[in-house]
Amino acid sequence: MSFHFNSFSPTEGQGKKWPVTVRKAKQLGYTEPDPRDDLSGLDVTRKRTILGRLAGSCTECQVEINSLTIFRNLTSKWKQHKAAAEKEGKCVHFVGSIDMASREVKVGIESFEKTHPIAALQGGDNVISFYTKRYGDNPLIVQGAGAGGDMGVSSDLLKVLSHIAW
């Protein structure tokens, strides 16, 4: 999803058309075998739920998914959404989040200030931000490859978490 939004909704200038980014991401091996798993938000939801469970808080999480597939005409809807964000000086990305305290997993589109770490992503890179009591409003950032088999930063985080004795 990061590749799609980095291509479709870059921080500056015009992006590529949505169908073009989906085909390119599939060719590069960045999508699930069926890209609808990505566009529906199911893949992001699945990964966030696994991370929440491994962290010990989301054994039974409430899940909210704002799927991209709800839009019949993705390109025109996204142009409108992107234009509204740009008018506010923001960029648009598809993200997943886990609120450990409320045990909620949320997946969908959010607008970000252009100074936010997610706005600086390029290609298939991804970012995980940890907002905790320790990090407060200045989160710990883990950034790296976000797609393509075992290259994903989520996959790496899962490997690390599997070796930690909680």
Residue 23 lies in a domain: yes
Residue 157 in any domain: the answer is no
pLDDT, mean of residues 9-29: 76
Q: Has residue 133 got a pLDDT over 90?
A: no
Total count of domains within the chain: 1
Predicted local distance difference test score (pLDDT) of residue 158:
66
Name the pTM for this structure.
Answer: 0.74
The reply to whether 109 falls in a domain is: yes
Assigned domain for 138 exists: no
How far apart (Å, rounded) are the C-alpha atoms in residues 22 and 35? 7
Q: How far apart are CA 148 and CA 94, in angstroms?
A: 17
In a domain, 139, yes or no: no
pLDDT given for residue 131 in this prediction:
84
**What CATH number does residue 3 fall under?**
3.30.360.10
CB 41 within 8 A of CB 66: yes
State the Cα–Cα distance between residues 109 and 95, nearest whole angstrom.
6
**Cα–Cα distance, 109 to 86 (Å, whole number):** 14
DSSP-based three-state secondary structure for 78: helix
d(CA 96, CA 98): 7
Query: Does some domain include residue 53?
Result: yes
Of 26, 47, 87, 114, which is the active-site residue? 47
Q: What is the CA radius of gyration of the chain?
A: 16
For residue 25, count other CB atoms closer than 10 A to its CB.
21
Within-domain flag for 153: no
Across-strand partners of 127?
143
Q: Is 47 a catalytic residue?
A: yes
pLDDT tier for residue 11 given thresholds of 50, 70 and 90: low
> Is residue 132 in a domain?
no
Domain holding 111, by residue range, is 1-123
